[in-house]
Amino acid sequence: MTVIIPNAKIASRWNGALQARLKSAPLEAFLRSHGQKWVASGETRMTDNLACATIYLVGGGIGARGEGAPQTLSEAEHPAVGQLSCAVAADLALMIQEPTYWRTAALVATARILEKYIGLSAAAHVAAAAARDYSTDVNAGTLNAEIATIARAVRGAVEDNADEQAAQVVHMIAEHLTSVSARFLSLSLSLSPPVALAYDPGTAAVSSSTT
């Protein structure tokens, strides 16, 4: 039997490839077990898989908002989806020890999720703004507490590859989006001009106080 011993350069390359596979193994296992597309090789493998996991979880949260939830997203939910995507991608990127990969993954995930609601161009603008705001909030220590909690839960669910934990994460995302939409609606109503009733004998006419 012949034993081939690679030189130091080749051995280093092999070891690097092995370490990269080991780091990304939990993420790939999570995607496979949940029937999601995953990329096994290529220069963009890491960011592609991060984006796929982010789309699966955040998109799942949108779909889990409840039977009475509207089929569209409110205006306030657009940036919320972006913030959630950034936080999810960032924590998963830390999990696979590739912290710089989160931005590209988050941009792709946000754009793909929002595209069917507001179109690709508008979705790309929301994604870029969300990534910028997320970085600012993280650096300033002002990241929304709910979003930070969700991101930590995502990391645990993917690391453990637990269906129950993943379902809980989807539920948390759904609740966050619902609360964002409700707060936006409440604020909009509070800022709306009051409606004045003007009574005319024989008929009742409603006129806006702004006219």
Instruction: Pick the more confident residue, 130 or 162.
Output: 130
In the prediction, which pLDDT does 69 show? Answer: 65
Report how far residue 149's alpha carbon sits from residue 115's, in angstroms, rounded to the nearest whole number. Answer: 26
Q: At what angle do helices 102-118 and 45-63 cross, to 10 degrees?
A: 40
In the prediction, which pLDDT does 43 show? Answer: 73
Nearest CA-CA partner of 107 in 93, 125, 127: 127
In a domain, 30, yes or no: yes
User: How many structural domains is the chain composed of?
Assistant: 1
Secondary structure of residue 208 in the 3-state scheme: strand
In a domain, 192, yes or no: no
The pair of structure tokens assigned to 208 is 């806006």
In a domain, 126, yes or no: yes
In the prediction, which pLDDT does 186 show? Answer: 63
In a domain, 143, yes or no: yes
In a domain, 100, yes or no: yes
Q: Tens of pLDDT along 107-159?
A: 999 999 999 999 999 999 999 999 999 999 999 999 999 999 999 999 999 99
Report how far residue 105's alpha carbon sits from residue 94's, in angstroms, rounded to the nearest whole number. Answer: 13
Cβ atoms 184, 76 nearer than 8 A = yes
Structural domain of 51: 17-184
In a domain, 207, yes or no: no
In a domain, 190, yes or no: no
**pTM value?**
0.77
Query: Which positions ≥6 away from 10 have C-beta within 8 Å?
Result: none
In the prediction, which pLDDT does 211 show? Answer: 43
In the prediction, which pLDDT does 193 show? Answer: 58
Work out the average pLDDT over 22-42: 80
Nearest CA-CA partner of 92 in 25, 186, 6: 25
Kindly report the average pLDDT of the chain as a whole number. Answer: 82
In a domain, 51, yes or no: yes
**Three state DSSP letters for 94-151:** HHCCCHHHHHHHHHHHHHHHHHHHHCHHHHHHHHHHHHHHHHHHHHHCCCCHHHHHHH
Check pLDDT > 60 for residue 170. Answer: yes
Model confidence band, residue 209 (pLDDT cutoffs 50, 70, 90): very low
Cβ atoms 181, 74 nearer than 8 A = yes
